[in-house]
Structure 1
Amino acid sequence: MENYALLAFRHAPTPIVVLSYRRIKALNDAFANLFGYAHDELLNQSMQKLFPSVEDFEKIGKEALTGLGLQTNMYYCDERFMRHKTGEIFWATTHGRTLTPDDPFKLAIWHFEKKPQVSSESQLTAREAQIAQYMVNGYTCKEIGKSLGLSPRTIEVHKANLMKKLGARSKGELASKIIVINPMAAAQQNHSSKTTPEKILK
């Protein structure tokens, strides 16, 4: 007799993953395909494998844990950068639900959706792309400046310029307009050993 529930999960057209303390315990084909991995390459792996940096993994984890704990319906959603097996960085919308509200990360189900990149006549410069990724991941101008060795005022000027350049009115709108090109180029240009977003975007 067919297990229709398992069949529906495995072959659902939307990427779905089951996590226990942010470690992958089950995933469907669409989720594996989204990130460019074979099913067995991701099973029992930490979700850190799919984030652009350790800092992103930790920061978004804290926000998700807080969000799941605050929601009375045990749902949480956000938008974030994720990393494909090839190194490509892409913007994704995520929706999660915990099945263990007293310990939200103990068992949770997540749905991921890759957001289409919006073409723009104005390409972001390397510095603008670096600052943009920090912004959409919740860093303040002071924190960005400290990481990049620039003054907060300089970051504010870059922020205003790139939002105007892309016609964005918010961080979320800005992220949806970012064009990610050759994600490994910045890593070659960066002289710091610390893994930060500027090592991801060109």
Structure 2
Amino acid sequence: MTENLSHLEDLERLAFRVSPAPQVITGHRRMLDFNEAFLTLFGYQREELAEQLILKLYPSHADYQAIGDRSLSWLRHARNGAYSDERFMQHQSGEVFWARANGYTLTPDDPFQLMVWHFERMDRVFNPTVNLTPREREISAHVVNGLSCKEIARKLSISHRTVEVHRSRLMKKLQAKNSAELVSKIIVLR
């Protein structure tokens, strides 16, 4: 019987490790274990993430704090122990990308004590609460990754003046006073 149980645990461990779904197990928001797909999604080696706060994968501390507060509040009242949202995450290279996150707590009385998370990179640009045009959403995804108007123009095969106009409209719609504030406001859009 113990041999069968050991074999089953080995199979479960193997299934977690090779699953195509990027997964991480966290304890109080510290990464305890993760599978190969998770490492590939974020571009890290195992030793770079082991025992680190998941903050390492967020574009800003403010984002980490806001999402943590929101998810903890939800999990304290959720009957099924599940939480899901879409958010910006950051690759090891510094690239910021839009991702869907699904979490499940294994400790409902203290939700962050032990959780399993699944992340999925989204190909589409985020759905902001302000009314942005498809081109403004597309340009904003490049802005958060630090590209200049000329670099964005080359990537999109449009005039850099057109990019400047869209960037200016983004600044006005998001009420940003400078580039740093614009990036920050794009990142925290929900």
* TM-score normalised per structure 2: 0.69
- Does structure 2 retain, via aligned residues, the 8 Å contact 1:52–1:197? no
CA distance in 1, matches of 2:42, 2:140: 18
Q: Give 2:80's aligned residue.
A: 73
Aligned to 1:180, which of 141, 152, 163? 141
Shift of 1:179: 5.7
Question: Secondary structure at 1:181's aligned position in 2?
Answer: helix
Shift of 1:69: 1.2
Report the identity percentage: 40
Structure 1 residues 48-72: Cα deviation after superposition (integer angstroms, max 9, x where no partner): 1100100000000001101111110
Shift of 1:180: 2.0
The letter for the 2-side match of 1:184 is G
Aligned to 1:9, which of 3, 11, 16? 16
Segments of structure 2 that go 5 or more residues without pairing to the other structure are 1-5, 149-177
CA distance in 1, matches of 2:20, 2:115: 19
CA distance in 2, matches of 1:109, 1:38: 19
Shift of 1:40: 1.3
Q: Give 1:197's aligned residue.
A: 184
Question: Secondary structure at 1:37's aligned position in 2?
Answer: coil
Q: Give 1:95's aligned residue.
A: 102
Question: Secondary structure at 2:76's aligned position in 1?
Answer: helix
Q: Give 2:58's aligned residue.
A: 51
Shift of 1:94: 0.9
CA distance in 2, matches of 1:51, 1:59: 11
Larger Rg: 2
Question: Secondary structure at 1:184's aligned position in 2?
Answer: coil
- Does structure 1 retain, via aligned residues, the 8 Å contact 2:140–2:186? no
CA distance in 1, matches of 2:63, 2:74: 16
Question: Secondary structure at 1:62's aligned position in 2?
Answer: helix
CA change 1:200–1:63 in 2 (3 A) is closer
Structure 1 residues 162-194: Cα deviation after superposition (integer angstroms, max 9, x where no partner): 2xx229xxxxxx97x6762261348xxx686x9
Q: How many residues of Structure 1 are paired with residues of Structure 2 in the alignment?
A: 151
Q: How does 1:1-202 map to 2 (within 5 A)?
A: 3-117=10-124, 159-160=130-131, 162=132, 165-166=133-134, 180-181=141-142, 183-185=145-147, 197=184
Question: Secondary structure at 1:180's aligned position in 2?
Answer: helix
CA distance in 1, matches of 2:45, 2:70: 29
* TM-score normalised per structure 1: 0.65
CA distance in 2, matches of 1:100, 1:75: 11
Indicate the structure with greater helix content: 2
Q: CA RMSD in A?
A: 3.1
CA change 1:166–1:67 in 2 (3 A) is same
